[in-house]
Amino acid sequence: LNNILRAVKADLSGNQPCEIIDDESLLADKFSSLQSDESKLQGGALGALARPKSHLECSTALSLFASSGKQIAIVTGGTGLSGGAVPLAGAQMISLAGMKDISALGFDPDKGHHFVRVQAGVTLAELNEHLGELEEKVFFPVDPTETSASLAGMVATNASGARSFFYGSIRNWVRWIRVVLSDGSILELTRDEFRIIDGQIILEIGDEQRELKLEGISIPETKHTLGYRYRDDSDPIDIFIGSEGTLGVITDVELQLEPVPTQRMYFLQFFNSESSALSFVCDLRKEEKLKTLAIEFCDRKSLDFVLQSSVRSDCKAAGLIKDSHKAAVYCEFICETEEELLTLYERLETVLEKNGSRIEDSFAGTEDKDLRDMKMFRHAVPETINSLIARRRSEIPGLHKIATDMSVPDEAIQTVFDLYRGHLDSRNLEYAIFGHAGDNHFHVNILPRTEEELRVAKEAYKEIAAKVVSLRGAVSAEHGIGRIKKAFLLEQFGADEIDKMKKIRSFFDPDLRLSTGVLFD
Ligand SMILES: Cc1cc2nc3c(=O)[nH]c(=O)nc-3n(C[C@H](O)[C@H](O)[C@H](O)COP(=O)(O)OP(=O)(O)OC[C@H]3O[C@@H](n4cnc5c(N)ncnc54)[C@H](O)[C@@H]3O)c2cc1C
């Protein structure tokens, strides 16, 4: 273990030319979609676009861009929800979407697991399909819902999703990354090879040596993606995971894989009261013998959206919704043995009875078709919301939904729920609450009907975020800060802590050109 990171200087011989488009009209005609991402934040026109096919080409592009001194935006899948990939006007952009190689499967005998190396642009869907065709029964467990997200983008945002309740975020699954720094030099970070020692790390690029004395940042214990995560003895790879493109361009990633479990069980339970649904969530996560992958929640408004959606007629689970249901909880379990399956049934029945709910109000299955049905059910909520808000936007162009992404500690689950209801009901806003209840992480979607309601919704969000921080929660659990939640990051850490993060930022990117204005100004 050592604290000296050695980057290899960029090769300026021109041996690895990279496709760079700088024709303004071509950029405007063919690549204007890159001015925005799934956050729908609108950026400015691009000054140039580089489309590398390898880390060496990426290095060439960055060293060429370095001479211009302009800002550089980084995009791979473009599915981010916080505007981190959105370019400022005139920025140069690196798109890694064309980097599609997947290596042969490897096996680490010391750690006893398989692993795979992918180039930045491989999407989650492509990786899943590739692994599904192999003889070895392995899979990649992190599932941030949107399968067109790239693996590099997922590392850059420390992506998680429903199953992070069991598997954690992608951070737990990254073994190695290759990063190209803003001057084009190439850095490789293997997990457990480096450490921050006594708060210090050293970066060597050829003859140049930089030293950084890090000061600790108070990281919340709850699920989070909040800029640079480190403690005094952290592994520097963890500073890059979740750095949202502000420290370097991730060109390759090596990921740990899991054996495919013997059996999965999907389970959806309806409740006649919200409080019994939340109490069921709390009791279920105490069941340590169960391998519970995901615990997801839908309130009554979300159930109404499922009923209004186009999938209603094809989705068995949707057909079970009754007027008396006030909430639903969706869970996913794995079982390796018959005994585990029996324990699961017994414990589920006990926990349901304790919370006044009956197994008749449930839908369960173990086959792929059941998973598809459940996915249809869950996806129907955001899909219906998105088409509703699109209709409203066609009449009032500036309108958009506000989707929260905050987590709190276990003991605050009911408090945060009441907080949302109190702030949003008192302002007469329309909203639905759904999401990752196992991690006390709800995506509350506020649906303004007018511009005034949008203003009021933003004001409510700000107040709720401040309370979440006071509950020792995180203002971003998985989507990241990007450009649109910078004020919340300041609320989370305060100016002094943000200054500590800025030192890290300028250590790796002294001219502050990568993803300028992302995380903080
Ligand atoms: C319908 C929907 C559902 C979603 N659900 C979830 C969910 O459950 N959980 C979750 O975590 N996320 C979710 N997301 C958000 C999104 O899919 C993730 O943030 C994803 O990890 C982004 O990957 P991407 O390749 O699209 O990144 P991009 O959108 O391209 O970029 C995201 C950020 O990472 C940076 N970045 C991208 N590529 C690189 C790179 N190669 N090197 C360095 N920085 C880079 C960008 O600059 C930007 O700051 C959802 C999105 C959608 C649209």
The CA 144 to ligand 1 mean position distance, Å, reads 9
SS3 16: coil
For the stretch 64-111, pLDDT in tens is: 999 898 999 999 999 999 999 999 999 999 999 999 999 999 999 999
Helices (H), 103-191: 124-132, 151-156, 164-167
List, as one string, the DSSP characters of 106-131: EEETTTTEEEEEEETT-BHHHHHHHH
The CA 80 to ligand 1 mean position distance, Å, reads 4
Q: Cα separation of 270 and 220, whole Å?
A: 32
Residue nearest to atom 19 of ligand 1 (CA): 80
Average pLDDT over residues 35-40: 94
Supply the pLDDT for residue 15: 87
List, as one string, the DSSP characters of 377-437: HHHHHHHHHHHHHHHHHHHSTT---EE--EE--GGGHHHHHHHHHHHHHTTT--EEEEEEG
Q: Indicate if the pLDDT at residue 3 is higher than 80.
A: yes
**Shortest-distance atom of ligand 1 to CA 515:** 47
**Shortest-distance atom of ligand 1 to CA 382:** 1
For the stretch 470-494, pLDDT in tens is: 999 999 999 999 999 999 999 999 9
Q: Cα separation of 102 and 120, whole Å?
A: 10
Q: In the numeric block, which tokens belong to residue 309?
A: 């959606």
The CA 157 to ligand 1 mean position distance, Å, reads 6
pLDDT > 90: percent of the chain: 91
Q: Which residue out of 31, 157, 255 has the highest number of ligand 1 atoms within 8 Å of its CB and is therefore the one to mutate? A: 157
Predicted TM-score (pTM) of the model is 0.96
For the stretch 242-281, pLDDT in tens is: 999 999 999 999 999 999 999 999 999 999 999 999 999 9
Q: Cα separation of 171 and 326, whole Å?
A: 35
Contacts of 100 by beta carbon, 8 Å cutoff, 6+ apart: 119, 121, 122, 126
Supply the pLDDT for residue 14: 84
Q: Which residue out of 36, 71, 81, 441 has the highest number of ligand 1 atoms within 8 Å of its CB and is therefore the one to mutate? A: 81
The CA 76 to ligand 1 mean position distance, Å, reads 8
Binding pocket residue ranges, ligand 1, CB within 6 Å: 37-38, 74-81, 84-85, 96, 120, 144-146, 149-150, 152-154, 156-157, 159-161, 244-245, 249-250, 478-479, 482, 515, 518
The CA 155 to ligand 1 mean position distance, Å, reads 8
pLDDT > 70: percent of the chain: 100
Supply the pLDDT for residue 20: 97
The CA 79 to ligand 1 mean position distance, Å, reads 5
Supply the pLDDT for residue 19: 97
Q: Which residue out of 38, 75, 489 has the highest number of ligand 1 atoms within 8 Å of its CB and is therefore the one to mutate? A: 75
Supply the pLDDT for residue 521: 92
Supply the pLDDT for residue 312: 82
The CA 78 to ligand 1 mean position distance, Å, reads 7
Average pLDDT over residues 438-449: 98
Looking at residue 153, its amino acid is G
Average pLDDT over residues 199-218: 93
Q: What is the DSSP letter of 262?
A: S
Residue closest to 271 by CA, chosen among 173, 355, 367, 194: 355
Q: Cα separation of 62 and 182, whole Å?
A: 6
**Shortest-distance atom of ligand 1 to CA 247:** 43
Supply the pLDDT for residue 216: 85
The CA 288 to ligand 1 mean position distance, Å, reads 32
Supply the pLDDT for residue 231: 78
Q: What is the mean pLDDT of the chain?
A: 95
Q: Indicate if the pLDDT at residue 325 is higher than 80.
A: yes
For the stretch 328-351, pLDDT in tens is: 999 999 999 989 999 999 999 999
**Shortest-distance atom of ligand 1 to CA 155:** 21
For the stretch 38-68, pLDDT in tens is: 998 999 999 999 999 999 999 999 999 998 9
Q: Are 152 and 243 in contact (CB under 8 A)?
A: no
Supply the pLDDT for residue 24: 93
- Per-residue confidence at 382, pLDDT binned at 50, 70, 90? very high
Report the b/e string of 251-261 with b at 16+ CB within 10 A: bbbbbbbeeee
Supply the pLDDT for residue 103: 97
